[in-house]
């Protein structure tokens, strides 16, 4: 099997060169064989010509000899000079013809002895018989006639002619042999030519077949495998075939195919992993592409949509509309849907309840950005909040219950205390009045905490109920400062206020008073003896801003973010052993936000704190 194993290092080009060399070699051998055959043929042909020339020359010499004989005989027998012309002609040419025949015999070992014999016989006949006879006749005709009568001359001519016949016979036999040889040579040459040509064609066919097998077949197989891969069959491989570059090409193709199959499998595995993670998520997650078509939903989302009966609605917009219809306020979602549809960057979040199912959900949507930052779609998530809502309600109910339950004993405490303080139970000594004052302050404090507890239970959901009306914050601030004066005086704190008149806001006076009281009370509480508290209130750009600045203990920077969380207490407050529940600021924030306002803090530990409340002003009049 050429090509499979031997000479791997020899490439297709090398093999082609070898094949070309082989063809050239065979062609050269064939050509030389053919040349040899043709040469033989030509030799045969030239031998045949030689024979004819020899026969011709022999024939001419024989003719001359006969002419010589008949001329001399005529002259001798008749004495007429006319016969001598033929004789003289023959005698004149005889030497030339003899020489010519002898020349032809030079290359002919086989006939040369015969020709030499003939030549010398002819010369001898002329020299020893013809010439002497004619001279004799010139002088003595009858003597010459007698010599002729002996028949000796006849005998010699007959012998010479017999030699000529032998020569001719031998030459003809030779010629026949040579002709046969020439024909044989011609056939051989034709055979050699045919065989050479056939061998060359066979060799070429073998070479073509070989290169088809080692080059074309592998290329065709790769082509077929590539087509299968294109059609999606990633397992398509090519069986080893061919040699050199073709073989290596197959190996490279298979390696590439394997690498691609591995990476495709790896991608599929990653994708499956990601999908499994998404499916395990507690949230329903869906994604739309840039056209708004749903391209992915996790199991939870499918489940939620089935539960909510919107799974069959097709597009995300129909599903959202379906969800809206499940709530009590379907039409209120129109602006949000319009925003999602028109603004690719829109981020929206909404808590909604499905009364028919007694389930609550939080929906969320945000843009999904591609690697280059462009919006490539939108994520929609849906999380069931029923349990959280229930827990919140339970907590709120618990806080309300606690608050209510505490109110009954508080009513007795404060009520009877009032009766006693009013002297309804008899005159009080100064000491008793002072002690009861302490009890009264504590009871009021307790009362405040109970109120706070109720409020704080409701701040979570931002459902702080307000009794709305026009409120003059200048009044509120003045009132709060006034009621804090006593406490400030006790600690020799300079409590100053700078308040613009007529600071109208829309809101709940009781809550706003609670807010400012909290802030001023805190400032006094957290400011050491001899410190300073400034309360400022003014209108600015349609807003009303209240600032309460103190020179108190301050709040660490890393705690300021948590300051407004319920039950959070700054470490500085704990260290200074200032009592508190950690509810006041949470309530203050809830009140500010319920009024569509903000509350913020800036503070430096050990130097002081400034709280700032920013509310929307109400146009006066």
Partner 1 sequence: MSDGERLPLVLAADDDPLILELVQFRLERSGYRVITATNGDDALRLAREHRPDLAVLDVMMLGLNGYEVTRSLRADEETRDIPVILLTARVQEADVSQGFDAGADDYLTKPFSPQELRARVQAILGRR
> Smallest distance from the beta carbon of 396 to partner 1, in angstroms?
11
**Shortest approach of partner 1 to residue 446 CB, angstroms?**
9
Mapped onto helix, strand or coil, the DSSP state of residue 578 is coil
Cα–Cα distance for residue pair 255/374, rounded to 1 Å: 37
Q: How far is the CB of 528 from partner 1 (least distance, A)?
A: 33
Minimum distance between the CB of residue 369 and partner 1, rounded to whole angstroms? 45
What SS3 state is found at 63? helix
Give 263 or 401: the residue with its C-beta nearer to partner 1: 401
- In whole angstroms, the minimum distance from the beta carbon of 452 to partner 1 comes to 12
Cβ–Cβ < 8 Å for 506, 618: yes
Cα–Cα distance for residue pair 54/580, rounded to 1 Å: 155
The answer to whether 237 touches 257, Cβ cutoff 8 Å, is yes
Angle at 490 between CA 485 and CA 493, to 5 degrees: 65
Residues in the chain: 621
At CB < 8 A and 24+ separation, what contacts does 274-283 make?
282/383, 283/381, 283/382, 283/383
At 254, which helix (H) or strand (E)? helix 244-280
User: What is the CA angle 528-533-535, rounded to 5?
Assistant: 160
- What are the DSSP calls for 368-384, one per residue? EE-TTS-EEEEEEEEEE
Cα dist from 298 to 280, 369, 461, whole Å: 8, 19, 29
CB of 594 to partner 1, least distance (A): 13
Neighbours of 167 (CB within 10 A): 23
Min. distance of Cβ 467 from partner 1 in angstroms?
A: 7
Residue with tokens 């290596």: 248
Do 571 and 557 contact (CB within 8 A), yes or no? no
Alpha-carbon span 613 to 598, nearest angstrom: 6
User: Do the beta carbons of residue 368 and residue 268 sit within 8 Å?
Assistant: no
CB-nearer residue toward partner 1: 44 or 403: 403
Q: How far is the CB of 451 from partner 1 (least distance, A)?
A: 8
Instruction: Answer for the pair 410, 446: CB distance below 8 angstroms, yes or no.
Output: yes
How many Cβ atoms sit within 10 Å of the Cβ of residue 178? 20
DSSP state of 373: S
Pair of tokens at residue 534: 């400034």
**210-220: b (≥16 Cβ within 10 Å) or e:** bbebbbeebee
DSSP three-state, residue 380: strand
Q: Which is nearer to partner 1, 221 or 595 (CB)?
A: 595
Minimum distance between the CB of residue 418 and partner 1, rounded to whole angstroms?
5
Indicate the residue among 167 and 456 with the shorter CB distance to partner 1.
456
Cα Rg, the chain, nearest whole Å: 70
Q: Are strands 469-472 and 504-507 parallel, antiparallel or unpaired?
A: antiparallel
CB of 400 to partner 1, least distance (A): 8
* Terminal alpha carbon distance of the chain: 111
Nearer to partner 1 by Cβ, of 259 and 419: the residue is 419
Query: Smaller CB distance to partner 1: residue 272 or 425?
Result: 425
Other residues' Cβ atoms within 10 Å of the Cβ of residue 197: 13
Residue 583: CB minimum distance to partner 1, A: 16
- Residue 243 CA to residue 186 CA, distance in Å, equals 44
Nearest residue (CB) to partner 1, 141 versus 417? 417
State the DSSP H helix or E strand holding residue 581, giving kind and residue range, or none if neither.
none
- Rounded to a whole number of angstroms, the minimum distance from the CB of residue 585 to partner 1 is 21
Which of residues 235 and 411 has its CB atom nearest to partner 1 in the complex? Answer: 411
- Which letter does DSSP use for residue 565 in this model? S
Residues lying near partner 1 in the complex (CB under 8 A): 400, 403-404, 407-408, 410-416, 418-419, 422, 424, 447, 451, 454, 465, 467
- For the bound state, the minimum distance from the C-beta of residue 454 to partner 1, rounded and expressed in Å, comes to 7
Q: Distance between alpha carbon 431 and the CA centroid of its chain, in Å?
A: 93
Burial (CB < 10 A; 0-12, 13-18, 19+), residue 230, is exposed
Q: How far is the CB of 411 from partner 1 (least distance, A)?
A: 4
CA distances from 194 to 24, 187, 191, 198 (A): 17, 10, 5, 6
Is 440 or 534 the residue whose CB approaches partner 1 more closely? 440
Nearer CB in complex with partner 1: 226/439 = 439
Least distance CB 295 / partner 1 (angstroms): 46
């Amino acid at each position: 099997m050429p090509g499979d194993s031997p000479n791997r290092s020899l490439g297709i080009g090398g093999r082609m060169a070898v094949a070309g060399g082989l063809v050239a070699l065979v062609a050269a051998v064939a050509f030389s064989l053919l040349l040899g055959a043709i040469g033989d043929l030509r030799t045969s042909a030239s031998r045949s010509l030689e024979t004819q020339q020899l026969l011709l020359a022999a024939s001419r010499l024989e003719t001359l000899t006969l002419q010589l004989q008949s001329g001399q005989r005529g002259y001798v027998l008749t004495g007429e000079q006319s016969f001598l012309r033929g004789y003289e002609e023959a005698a004149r040419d005889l030497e030339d013809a003899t020489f010519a025949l002898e020349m032809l015999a030079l290359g002919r070992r086989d006939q040369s002895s015969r020709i030499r014999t003939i030549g010398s016989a002819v010369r001898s006949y002329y020299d020893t018989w013809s010439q002497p006879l004619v001279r004799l006749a010139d002088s003595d005709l009858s003597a010459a006639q007698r010599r002729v009568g002996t028949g000796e001359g006849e005998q010699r001519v007959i012998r010479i002619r017999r030699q000529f016949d032998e020569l001719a016979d031998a030459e003809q036999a030779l010629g026949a042999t040579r002709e046969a040889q020439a024909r044989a040579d011609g056939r051989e040459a034709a055979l050699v030519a045919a065989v050479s040509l056939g061998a060359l064609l066979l060799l070429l066919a073998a070479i073509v077949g070989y290169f088809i097998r080692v080059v074309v077949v592998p290329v065709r197989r790769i082509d077929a495998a590539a087509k299968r891969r294109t059609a999606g069959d990633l397992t398509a491989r090519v069986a080893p075939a061919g040699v050199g570059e073709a073989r290596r090409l197959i190996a490279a193709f298979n390696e590439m195919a394997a690498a691609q199959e591995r990476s495709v499998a790896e991608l599929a595995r990653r994708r499956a992993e990601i999908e499994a993670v998404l499916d395990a998520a507690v949230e329903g997650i869906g994604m739309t592409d840039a056209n708004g078509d749903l391209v992915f939903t996790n199991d939870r989302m499918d489940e939620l949509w089935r539960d909510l009966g919107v799974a069959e609605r097709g597009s995300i917009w129909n599903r959202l509309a379906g969800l809206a219809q499940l709530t009590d306020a379907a039409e209120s979602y129109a602006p949000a849907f319009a925003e999602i549809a028109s603004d690719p960057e829109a981020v929206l979040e909404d808590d909604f309840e499905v009364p028919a199912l007694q389930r609550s959900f939080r929906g969320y949507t945000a843009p999904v950005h591609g690697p280059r930052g462009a919006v490539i779609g939108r994520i929609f998530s849906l999380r069931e909040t029923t349990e959280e809502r229930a827990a919140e309600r339970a907590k709120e109910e618990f806080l309300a219950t606690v608050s209510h339950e505490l109110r009954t004993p508080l009513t007795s405490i404060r009520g009877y205390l009032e009766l006693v303080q009013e002297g309804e139970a008899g005159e009080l000594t100064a000491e008793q009045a002072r002690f009861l004052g302490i009890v009264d302050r504590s009871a009021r404090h307790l009362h405040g905490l109970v109120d706070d507890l109720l409020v704080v239970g409701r701040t979570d959901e931002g459902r702080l109920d307000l009794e709305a009306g026009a409120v003059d914050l200048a009044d509120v601030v003045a009132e709060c400062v006034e009621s804090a004066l006593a406490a400030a005086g006790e600690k020799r704190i300079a409590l100053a206020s700078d308040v613009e008149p007529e600071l109208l806001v829309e809101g709940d006076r009781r809550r706003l008073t609670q807010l400012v009281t909290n802030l001023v009370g805190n400032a006094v509480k957290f400011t050491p003896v001899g410190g300073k508290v400034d309360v400022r209130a003014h209108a600015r750009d349609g807003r009303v801003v209240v600032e309460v600045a103190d020179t108190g203990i301050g709040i660490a920077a890393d705690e300021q973010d948590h300051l407004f969380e319920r039950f959070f207490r700054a470490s500085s407050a704990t260290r200074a052993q200032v009592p508190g529940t950690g509810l006041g600021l949470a309530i203050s924030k809830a009140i500010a936000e319920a009024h569509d306002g903000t509350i913020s803090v800036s503070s430096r530990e050990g130097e002081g704190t400034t709280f700032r409340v920013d509310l929307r002003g109400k146009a006066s009049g």
